[in-house]
Amino acid sequence: MSYYIIGTAGHVDHGKTELIRALTGESTDRLKEEQARGISIELGFASLMLPNGSLAGIVDVPGHERFVRQMLAGIGGIDLVLLVIAADEGVMPQTKEHLEIIDLLQVRKGIIVLNKTDLVDADWLELVMLEVKESLSGTVLQDAPIVAVSALKGVGIHNLVTAIEQELDGLPPREYYGPCRIPIDRTFSISGFGTIVTGTMYQGSVQVGDNVVIEPGHQESRVRSLQVHGEKVEKAYAGQRVAVNLPNLEVNTVIRGSTLLTPGFLTPVQTLDVSLKYLASAAKPLAHRQRVRVHIGTQETMGRVHLLDREEAEPGQMLYAQILMEELVIADRGDRFVIRQYSPARTIGGGTVIDGGKRKYKRHASQVLEMLAIKAKGSPRDILDAFLQNVDIPLSTNELLKSVGLSSDELEAALKDLTGSLDVVQVEQQNYWFKKLSSESWTARIETFLQDYHRKYYLRPGVPKEELKSRFFLKWNNKLFTAFLEYMESIGRVVNKGSFVAAPDFVAGPKGDLATVVPLILQEYRVAELSPPEWTRVMNSYNIDGPVGIELLQFFLREAQLTKVSEILYFSSDALRSAMEQLQHLLSEKSEFTAMDAKEKLGISRKYLIPILEYMDSQKITRRIGDKRTRFK
């Protein structure tokens, strides 16, 4: 079975509620006040079974100016709109505003219903039809069929049902599967059951037992029961009017305008990137940072229009902008919205959400406008490509799904289309994507830095990885940074040396005059054997200044040509190794020895002997017990 939502629109008292009664046999006036006054104040609902077996829910929205907020709450998720115009009055002020809203929301299909035809003659009806067609020119309903009826008399209703069926038949189906999204337009409680929320399911499905969340506010709950068009069901789908029982929530904490979601699906935002149409009927220009009422889904909140390329927008202009909300909202790419003047309340514009803004943009920046244009009009491939050009960190597939605003199928197709221009690294079996051009930019900066670093610190094996990360990749986590370095090494741009990174052709070592004296210094330590000179005296004798001397000493230690035994004693590594082998041999003969035994074995003074013995203890070769040493166990 196919499911659709039909909405009504039109001036107060043009017969919308009576029309729904004629179509369905149901009255949508729920409130006593509505029945007494003869006008709709709140949203009303009825169901219509079409001859082809499709089921449509009909949303009866108020027409009076005071109740346009309710009208906006009901019309956002509909598939087809019935714009009701009374034949005896013709196009009225609220008719025009409702038509502007329908046009701004880009409702997928529409039918013009000329009601109360029993009150006019044929000539008058023809004049009204001409007026209607003129009003529809240039709007989404300009080619919509016009059906004449008398809801009160039941005349033309069969023709209207046929027209509804024909218009709905060509619509592409909604996304029935995947995460659910229900903008809430009504909340109430029933004793013994708890809180009930109702709304039109925009996309996905939900079933009894599912975990759900109400946003903004992140109120978690579980679906106890479901109703669709008054019938209890186990599962509900996109396009249906749904009532959801949420037993653990207080009714006063769930407000109309909230959205029921599958957990993790959409995150509330406070900035919207938008394509905005400022209506030609607006009385004056739209100023930068003008405060407006923003209607999106069933939510109404205040916001300021942040104009990106001008100080004010003239009536009739199309532009890209940001709306900075005063409250968090739920919005997805492609959602339609309407803005109304703060006071007096009057519809002045609307458009399409390009993205839930991550930050406030700098004004008069051409690259920002170019990026928004691509997001607004480009294919999924173009959108992903533009997005990746402006990120400074590889992002996982899940992160892209949340950030770019594409569906999972669209993202998968876009990644496939961009295969030639993308690279990927893996972290814990997750793919992290980035542009090859971005990689080239990051790599070029690193290569330049490495060359400068190697020239200055030619005795070091490379740049410490932590220094490189803090300089260029501060926002990256360690696992991602490590994976990217491995990727750079795989394409031959760097070499990873333990905790250091170096250029592929770099070899650490002394250069120039220093290269001449290094063999002499090492020879001096080899000749001295176990009575080495002090490092500072050696440096002074060769006129090597302090910083260079420190770098050279570290080089010798890394290359294992010298070994540090104490804070001031450095031995030739070969000489020290020979000494320790002799003392180990002594242990194999005696199982223990004293300092005097070691002195006799090595033939050196206590000045050098004691540091060597303590070094062997620290290396867990020997263990000191009293005044003797044994083999470490």
Q: With helix as H, strand as E and coil as C, how does 311-340 read?
A: CEECCCCEEEEEEEEEEEECCCCCCEEEEE
Tokens of 518: 């290094």
Q: What percent of the chain has pLDDT over 90?
A: 57
**Per-residue pLDDT at 169:** 87
Q: What is the mean pLDDT of the chain?
A: 88
Tokens of 173: 């189906």
At residue 75, what is the residue type?
I
Which CATH code for domain 513-631?
A: 1.10.10.10
Residue 393 has pLDDT above 80, yes or no: yes
Q: Which of 120, 133, 68, 64 is nearest to 89 (CA)?
A: 120
CA distance 89 to 36: 23
If one compares 150 and 63, the residue with the highest pLDDT of the two is 150
- Across 105-123, average pLDDT: 91
Domain spans of the chain, in order of start: 3-169, 181-261, 269-371, 378-508, 513-631
Q: May I ask the CATH class of domain 181-261? A: mainly beta
Residue 42 has pLDDT above 50, yes or no: no
Residue 486 has pLDDT above 80, yes or no: yes
Phi, psi of 496 (to 5 degrees): -90, 125
**Per-residue pLDDT at 58:** 84
If one compares 262 and 201, the residue with the highest pLDDT of the two is 262
CA distance 416 to 396: 15
In terms of CATH architecture, what is 3-169?
3-Layer(aba) Sandwich (3.40)
Q: What own/partner pairs with CB < 8 Å and gap ≥ 24 does 394-402 have? A: 394/424, 394/425, 394/432, 394/433, 394/434, 394/480, 394/484, 395/432, 395/433, 395/434, 396/427, 396/430, 396/431, 396/432, 396/433, 397/430, 397/431, 397/433, 398/430, 400/433, 402/267
DSSP code of 186?
E
DSSP codes of every residue in 237-263: ETTSEEEEEETTS-GGGS-BTBEEE-T
- Across 363-383, average pLDDT: 86
241 and 233 in contact (C-beta within 8 Å)?
Answer: no
Residue 63 has pLDDT above 50, yes or no: no
Residue 65 has pLDDT above 50, yes or no: no
Which CATH code for domain 378-508?
A: 1.10.10.10
- Across 488-514, average pLDDT: 94
CA distance 244 to 227: 7
Domains 181-261 and 269-371 share a fold: yes
| Other Cβ atoms within 10 Å of 342 Cβ, number | 13
| Other Cβ atoms within 10 Å of 541 Cβ, number | 13
Using pLDDT thresholds of 50, 70 and 90, give the confidence band for residue 28.
Answer: low
* Lowest model confidence (mean pLDDT) among 187-196, 561-570, 572-581: 187-196
**Per-residue pLDDT at 5:** 84
- Across 12-28, average pLDDT: 84
Q: Which fold does the domain 269-371 belong to in CATH?
A: Elongation Factor Tu (Ef-tu); domain 3 (2.40.30)
Phi, psi of 344 (to 5 degrees): -70, 150
Residue 252 has pLDDT above 50, yes or no: yes
Residue 117 has pLDDT above 80, yes or no: yes
If one compares 61 and 194, the residue with the highest pLDDT of the two is 194
Q: Which of 389, 480, 310 is nearest to 381 (CA)?
A: 389
pLDDT tens-digit readout, 149-205: 999 999 999 999 999 999 998 787 677 778 899 999 888 888 778 899 988 888 889
- Across 102-130, average pLDDT: 91
Structure-token match 């907020």, residue found: 69
Structure-token match 């005063």, residue found: 326
Using pLDDT thresholds of 50, 70 and 90, give the confidence band for residue 38.
Answer: very low
**Alpha-carbon separation of residue 386 from 172, 332, 371, 413, 473 (angstroms):** 28, 18, 6, 15, 21
pLDDT tens-digit readout, 407-442: 788 899 999 999 889 888 888 888 999 888 888 889
Q: pTM value?
A: 0.67
Using pLDDT thresholds of 50, 70 and 90, give the confidence band for residue 491.
Answer: very high
Beta pairing, strands 219-222 & 211-215 = antiparallel
Residue 100 has pLDDT above 90, yes or no: no
Tokens of 470: 């803090």
**Per-residue pLDDT at 595:** 94
3-state secondary structure of 184: strand
